[in-house]
């Protein structure tokens, strides 16, 4: 029995020695790679120092322009072109509009001679009826005004851009 135990110990010892040898070899390879990398970095630094020293000294950056007052008062005095305000207002209006076009071949929509307020009232009644049967229509949509165009189309103004969508 002592011989079997001795053989097992010898086998395990040989395995440990083999692992230590493998670790030693891996450590030696890592050390060689580290030394090679250190040499490469040192060479790159030397090249960089040579390049920097061979260049002409940099001139100082140009001075920034004289500061202009950037206060609230100076900002409010800036004149925005009047056309800008008109364009922005018109864009906001158009985002709230919906155009109902007359179907081809249809002589009228039955609303040609109606007052714009009557058209808006009828449109809101139709919308209320649609809301009762369709769950996908937002509850706060409302027609605000209407205009009958020359071709018989009707241009509605909604209460918000979201309603128009």
Co-location of 133 and 97 in the same domain? yes
pLDDT score of 67 more than 60: no
**C-beta of residue 158 within 8 angstroms of C-beta of residue 140:** no
**Backbone angles phi and psi of 31, in degrees to 5:** -65, -40
pLDDT score of 104 more than 60: yes
DSSP 8-state symbol, 83: H
| 35 within some domain | yes
Mean per-residue pLDDT of the chain: 81
Q: Report how many domains make up the chain.
A: 2
| 64 within some domain | no
pLDDT score of 47 more than 80: yes
Lowest-confidence segment of 54-58, 85-89, 159-163 by average pLDDT: 54-58
Q: How many C-alpha atoms does 30 have within 13 Å on its Cβ side?
A: 6
| 117 within some domain | yes
| pTM of the predicted model as reported, rounded to 2 decimal places | 0.47
Task: Tell me the average pLDDT across 2-12.
Answer: 75
Co-location of 84 and 53 in the same domain? no
Task: Tell me the average pLDDT across 14-29.
Answer: 87
């Amino acid at each position: 029995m002592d011989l079997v135990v001795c053989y097992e110990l010898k086998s395990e010892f040989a395995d440990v020695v083999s692992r230590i040898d493998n670790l030693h070899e891996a450590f030696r390879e890592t050390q060689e790679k580290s030394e090679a990398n250190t040499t490469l970095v040192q060479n790159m630094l030397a090249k960089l120092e040579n390049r920097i020293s061979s260049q002409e000294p940099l001139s100082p950056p140009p001075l920034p322009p004289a500061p202009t007052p950037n206060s609230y008062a100076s900002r409010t005095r800036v004149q925005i072109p009047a056309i800008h305000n008109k364009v922005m207002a018109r864009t906001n209006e158009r985002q709230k509009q919906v155009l109902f076009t007359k179907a081809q071949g249809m002589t009228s929509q039955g609303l040609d001679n109606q007052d714009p307020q009557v058209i808006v009232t009828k449109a809101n009644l139709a919308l209320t009826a649609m809301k009762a049967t369709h769950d996908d229509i937002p509850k706060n949509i409302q027609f605000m005004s209407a205009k009958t165009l020359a071709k018989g189309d009707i241009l509605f103004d909604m209460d918000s851009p979201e309603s128009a969508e």
